[in-house]
Amino acid sequence: MTGFTSDDIPDCSGKTALVTGANTGLGYAISEALARKGAEVILACRDEEKGEAARARIAETAPEANTRYLQLDLADLDSIKAAAAKAKKEKRLDLLINNAGIMVPPLRLEMGVESQFAINHLGHFALTGLLLNKLTKSAGKKGHARIVNQASIAHKGARIDFDNLDGSKGYLRQKFYGQSKLANLLFTFELDRRLRAAQSNVSAYACHPGIAGTELMRNLGPFAFMGKVVGAVLNNPDEGALPALMAATSPDAEPGGYYGPYGLVEISGRSAGRAIATATARDPLLAARLWDKSIELTGIDPGLAPDAAPYLGDISSES
């Protein structure tokens, strides 16, 4: 049985994709693959020099690629709002791939909370909320737009500590990374429920790269060299990008689906397929609480009413 490979990426001509963290690692691999298939790709990155360098690299391998840089700092709400305002001026927006992230940095605060939770989750929550109408209008009545959130197997065993989002009551880097990745999945599944309830032409998906050798490992101090080792033994960025590309482009990807490497218990593989999310990640009550807290922290409301069904339980047998 085989899974999704780079050969399965369909033609993307006529589509516009916005990829966060597109200058390196998974984001670059995702952007390059989409550009090769004809999509116009907006490389949303914090550093303009690195973003433009990534565009130049894509042009070397795909001379016909249509790419552009968009300044975006996911730790800064003003930057997120400015980036969204520019993206709304695009002719269309068909794919929003929320890929950027940080992993196990020293404790610092952004938006009043710990930086991994802020950048990996809140920044993307805000960006998605601001661009939802643009995605809806681009899809039209008969079209289809997609939102893809990059999660991680690190969500397994994680929980959301609402009483310690700023790390003031203790900070363990890996624990807070897992919390941010759990938030990515909770957000995806709640977004899917609300989009379905609204009968939207926009769908939400989640993915994870397994264990891939990328610059995410730069905060591991003396163990940062492990990134290259991981890339050689497990997944390189091109392989780690396949689940996101499947979620973003495959006609077989189901709304609300979660995709990961198709091999070695989701750690590695040269193809992608269904991934396993924990029961905690699929908890609608926890997701609804996170949704409301995210609105409170960012001041941005995606404007989607909740789907009541998951919260009511099975009432069919009640008299």
Q: Are 94 and 146 in contact (CB under 8 A)?
A: yes
Q: Are 70 and 42 in contact (CB under 8 A)?
A: yes
Task: Tell me which residue has tokens 């003031």.
Answer: 168
Burial class (CB in 10 A: 0-12, 13-18, 19+), 203: buried
Q: Are strands 109-110 and 113-114 parallel, antiparallel or unpaired?
A: antiparallel
Distance CA 272, CA 244 (A): 9
* H/E run at residue 293: helix 284-298
Rg over CA atoms, the chain:
18
Q: Name the residues annotated as catalytic.
A: 177
Please choose, from the candidates 245, 232, 233, 236, the residue with its C-alpha nearest in 3D space to the C-alpha of residue 272.
245
